[in-house]
Structure 1
Amino acid sequence: MTKITPKTTPIYQTSVFTFEDLNELELYFEQPGQQYMYTRYGNPNSDELAEEVNKLEEGAGAVVTSSGMSAILTAVLAYSQAGDHVLCAEEIYGGSAALLSQELTRMGITVTYVPSEELYSLDSHVHSNTKLLLAETMSNPLLQVVNLERLAEETKRVGIKLVVDNTFASPVITKPLSLGADMVIHSVTKYLSGHSDVTAGVVVAGTADASERVKQIMRVYGLNLSPFESWLAARGLKTLKLRMRQHSINALAIAEFLERHPKVKQVWYPGLQQHPQHKLARLQGCGLFGGMLSFRLEDNEEAVNRFMRALEHIPFAPSLAGVSTSISHPLRTSHRSLSPEQQQKLGITIGVIRLSVGIEETVDLLADLAQALEEV
């Protein structure tokens, strides 16, 4: 029979792998990584995805998980346990805050949220049992850019680990490990996969020891990703660099348009020169600013609804980073779990709309936004 060599890795849609005898089984335990036994422990498709993301992030090892949330859980548990204390940047994805405040506190892990203006001076927040700081490269939803090199220096100074959620930026724009972070996480659901058809996460470790720890957590907690979703995400990953360039081109054009529009009160996008971290974003992002932006209409629910209903090609979808443009509403979706006081302090009001800019023709996106804004 002619040898078959597939160009693309096949889908290993199996829960278990077979062995010839006990000798072959022992080889599995003696030589890890040479063979597979059970898909919760490892599968060629999930390993391929993890290895490709690890290369992009220049890590020491990675593991893919069942969702972005399970990636956050894995990263936090890699460095902390009951009785420990963790820090989290105040402006963070609402799901991350809910995990820390509502669930991990039940496991005996305490959390303190650090205001943006205190992020680079942690002495007053660090205790003897503080283990890590969780932050985002670009914050969700108001696109504040963290100086990762400076933050890494500060976390090392106070003796804690830095875990960075790099979902909004992607490794095409920023590589946190190269700037001093200890661990990087992504919701693969978003840019890495890129087509709104996968739910997945990934944790990339900066050291071999940390890599083994996150793999152990994934296996024991059963946070593994299925073979089919691993295959889909690996396929999407192949166009990441091309997609990120077009996302960034479109987002900058839209941000500049919205900034000039009389119905728009404020725009948050690192590519705008008026953005407070514009220079940092340009340096840290290699000249690309990503596909995410937020803007504020008047703080009136009916005005927001009129705008949403008037859009003809841009749907209201509470997620982000697909090839098709969509809008979301942070107050009612991603940051719904925050208290009114937290929402107000962060500036997440009823008029704030998050725009995930796709890779469509720029002129078509601008036209749809323009006609919808006329209805506000």
Structure 2
Amino acid sequence: MSISPKVTPIYQTSVFTFEDLNALETYFQEPGKHYMYTRYGNPNSEELAQEINQLEHGQGAVVTSSGMSAILTAVLVYAKAGDHVLCAEEIYGGSSSLLSNELSRLGISVTYVPTADSYSLESYVQENTKLMLAETISNPMMMVMDLSRLAQVCLKNGLKLVVDNTFASPALTQPLQLGADLVIHSVTKYLSGHSDVTAGVVIAKAEADANRAAQIMRTWGLNLSPFESWLGARGLKTLKLRIREHSRNAQTIAEFLQQHPKVQAVFYPGLPEHPQHALAQTQGNGKCGGMLSFRIADDAEAVNQFMQALSHIPFAPSLAGVTTSISYPLGTSHRGLTKEQQENMGITVGLIRLSVGIEEVEELIADLEKGLAAI
């Protein structure tokens, strides 16, 4: 009797065996069809990569040990010592730290492009500029990038476009379809969705770029473990259902916060007042995701009072799980930025980022009401 499991087993092994030298030679002659060492490839990591590649309509993908290692891999696909890269000013703080503090030590320089100049890069491009890094929806101010327009500007200036699609996920937007060259995700977030995985992924429009990303992953030792690959593939199965509920709940909560007297501003693309509302509706296929930020009084004690009064929503410096959580960009994800960078992005003392889960929205609003009442 043959056994055919419905779910891929976990190949929890660091190495695979060979019958003889002939089998070893077959491994090298037929790449991708056999396994030798889990750093080079594993059935679980390849399953996850292939599933995400399909969702993003890519020509190849590689999963990595974290979202940060995915960003590193993507930059190294196109840039080497002596090269220059552009990066959107409104970017995840970890991306900024990687570029400014680490890749600069390897001889890769960076210039941050102000939001106002996102689609006019000419004055920032140098002879050695290789790529532009941007986010589909920026963290934490929820600015939506017009990816088609940005891709045209990059093409005109001879740049590769690398897009961090973590906040949107392919359930909303597929940047490769809009002209991007590489897409990256922190799989830790929406793709796995249950706050129990740390992983990243790089998806390429060109097969050659996917092969280069795989080479970087193997050589730098950025591989993802079999178990976390298996967990990521399991979470991916419910992505579209989860994003639908995340988006629905976030829209309701954004509207609630917008009318609350103790909330000074709400940043969510689903609100008509958002500057890129129309773009978000089009680029996100009518949904805007589960992330939003809002500002209360710029007073640390007010923020503490709000957090301490919440009963069900924890303060957890990450995002995109099935359960709702809050984060504090000034003290967590963006604390490594200069004060000037923080001010330019609008990251103030009273800014709170909310990752809206898929719980009953009435319960979430009641808890938020309780927190705001304590201020």
TM tier, shorter chain?
Answer: over 0.9
The separation in 2 between residues aligned to 1:34 and 1:175, in whole angstroms, is 28
Detail structure 1 runs of 4+ shifted over 3 Å in the superposition.
none
- Aligned partner of 1:318 in structure 2 is 317
The separation in 2 between residues aligned to 1:140 and 1:169, in whole angstroms, is 11
The separation in 2 between residues aligned to 1:200 and 1:19, in whole angstroms, is 29
Question: Secondary structure at the residue paired with 2:285?
Answer: coil
The separation in 1 between residues aligned to 2:339 and 2:6, in whole angstroms, is 52
- Asked if 1:253 corresponds to 2:252, the answer is yes
The separation in 2 between residues aligned to 1:130 and 1:339, in whole angstroms, is 24
- Aligned partner of 1:265 in structure 2 is 264
Shift in Å, 1:345: 1.3
Aligned ranges 1:1-376 → 2 under 5 Å: 2-376=1-375
Corresponding letter in the other structure for 1:192 = L
The normalised TM-score by structure 2 is 1.00
Question: Secondary structure at the residue paired with 1:196?
Answer: coil
Shift in Å, 1:96: 0.2
Question: Secondary structure at the residue paired with 1:124?
Answer: helix
CA RMSD of aligned residues (A): 0.3
Shift in Å, 1:344: 1.0
Corresponding letter in the other structure for 1:110 = S
Deviations 1:118-154 (A, max 9, x none): 0101100001100000000000000000000000000
The separation in 1 between residues aligned to 2:293 and 2:283, in whole angstroms, is 20
The normalised TM-score by structure 1 is 0.99
Corresponding letter in the other structure for 1:148 = L
The separation in 1 between residues aligned to 2:227 and 2:241, in whole angstroms, is 23
Deviations 1:284-308 (A, max 9, x none): 0000000000000000000000000
Deviations 1:64-85 (A, max 9, x none): 0000000000000000000000
Question: Secondary structure at the residue paired with 2:122?
Answer: coil
Structure 2 unpaired stretches of 5+: none
The separation in 1 between residues aligned to 2:174 and 2:109, in whole angstroms, is 28
Corresponding letter in the other structure for 1:156 = L
The separation in 2 between residues aligned to 1:205 and 1:216, in whole angstroms, is 13
Percent of paired sites with the same residue: 70
Deviations 1:217-275 (A, max 9, x none): 00000000000000000000000000000000000000000000000000000000000
Question: Secondary structure at the residue paired with 2:266?
Answer: strand
Question: Secondary structure at the residue paired with 1:280?
Answer: helix
Paired residue total: 375
The separation in 1 between residues aligned to 2:81 and 2:304, in whole angstroms, is 44
Structure 1 unpaired stretches of 5+: none
Corresponding letter in the other structure for 1:164 = V
The separation in 2 between residues aligned to 1:174 and 1:40, in whole angstroms, is 30
